[in-house]
Homo-oligomer: A and B are copies of this chain.
Amino acid sequence: MEENPNKTKSFVIAGKSFRSRLLVGTGKFGSYLQMAQALEASGSQIVTVSLRRVEIGENKRQEDILSYIDTKKYLLVINTSGAMNAEEAVRIAKIAAHGGLPKWIKLEIHPDPRYLLPDPIETLKATQMLVKEDFIVLPYINADPVLAKRLEEEGAAAVMPLGSPIGSMRGLETKAQIEIIIEQATVPVIVDAGIGKPSHAALAMEMGADGVLINTAIAIANDPCQMARAFKMAVEAGRMAYESGTDEVSKFAVATSPLESFF
């Protein structure tokens, strides 16, 4: 495998540096308090929230999700989940910006009700529109290397290919395509959707992904805080392995103890 220049790069999206390569989503938790504790345990610095969960302007209730997310500690990224096409996604982004939220948008356009898979055409279109309006756009995509390249060319700040359907926890079913995306990308590659176990997250990082986004696997664990810590460690472990090298795989055994006659 060729040397990947990302190998020693720190994790920078749109000029902003992050120590943690673990992004966390905020859906499905039992309570906001539990969510807040799991975020803390995860060590994450980037948190995604669906705009539909956010109270904006005058409708603000007391028990708002945002009051549980310390925006001094976490970069808040609004996701457009629920959007069926580019127009809806752009509209969500604008409502968020108008409401004073950051202009970082995780773009999710999934017309497919069963697997929530993203629409490549609408995602490209929305990326073009949002980049023009100075949003920082992180599109959620199928593991399609050509689409990833085109989004990068249109100004996406990162690409977020799926490992398997959202919430399915089936891991990196699209591994072969993600490897090509990583090889070709010049923006960060963040594996999103489908990561169900720390071993999946470690694998993504060992392959050279720049980050991973986890939601369901943490939110529905019996102990979300412990699971958040497990993912934190797995992401660090995978990244350290990527940086400290050794990809060679041998068909044959290679003795760890010398085999010369002993007796």
Can you name the residue of chain B whose Cβ is closest to the Cβ of A163? Answer: B176
How many chain copies does the complex carry? 4
A146 to B117, Cβ gap below 8 A?
yes
Q: A27 — which chain B residues lie within 8 A by C-beta?
A: 255-258
B199 to A238, Cβ gap below 8 A?
yes
User: In which size bucket is the chain A interface?
Assistant: 35 or more
Is A45 among interface residues, defined by CB-CB distance under 8 A? no
Is A246 among interface residues, defined by CB-CB distance under 8 A? yes
Give per-residue flags for A35-62: 1 if the beta carbon is below 8 A from chain B beta carbons, else 0. 0000000000000001111000000000
Shortest distance in angstroms between A252's beta carbon and chain B's nearest beta carbon? 6
A234 to B115, Cβ gap below 8 A?
no
- A174-B174, A203-B199 as given contacts; A166 in contact with B255, CB under 8 Å: yes
Can you name the residue of chain B whose Cβ is closest to the Cβ of A29? Answer: B256
Q: A254 — which chain B residues lie within 8 A by C-beta?
A: 166-168, 216
Shortest distance in angstroms between A43's beta carbon and chain B's nearest beta carbon? 12
Give per-residue flags for A56-92: 1 if the beta carbon is below 8 A from chain B beta carbons, else 0. 0000000000000000000000010111000010011
Can you name the residue of chain B whose Cβ is closest to the Cβ of A1? Answer: B251
Query: Could you say which of A97-105, A131-139, A223-231 contacts chain B?
Result: A223-231
- A142-B144, A199-B199 as given contacts; A114 in contact with B245, CB under 8 Å: no
Shortest distance in angstroms between A1's beta carbon and chain B's nearest beta carbon? 9
Is A3 among interface residues, defined by CB-CB distance under 8 A? no
Give the complex CA separation of A44 and B198 in angstroms.
20
- 10 A-B pairs within 8 Å (CB atoms) are namely A27-B257, A50-B256, A53-B258, A82-B262, A112-B149, A113-B259, A115-B253, A219-B256, A231-B237, A233-B236
Residues of A within 8 A of B (CB): 25, 27-28, 50-53, 79, 81-83, 88, 91-92, 110-121, 124, 142-147, 149-150, 164-170, 173-177, 180, 184, 196-200, 202-203, 206, 215-217, 219-224, 226-227, 229-234, 236-238, 240-241, 243-246, 248-263
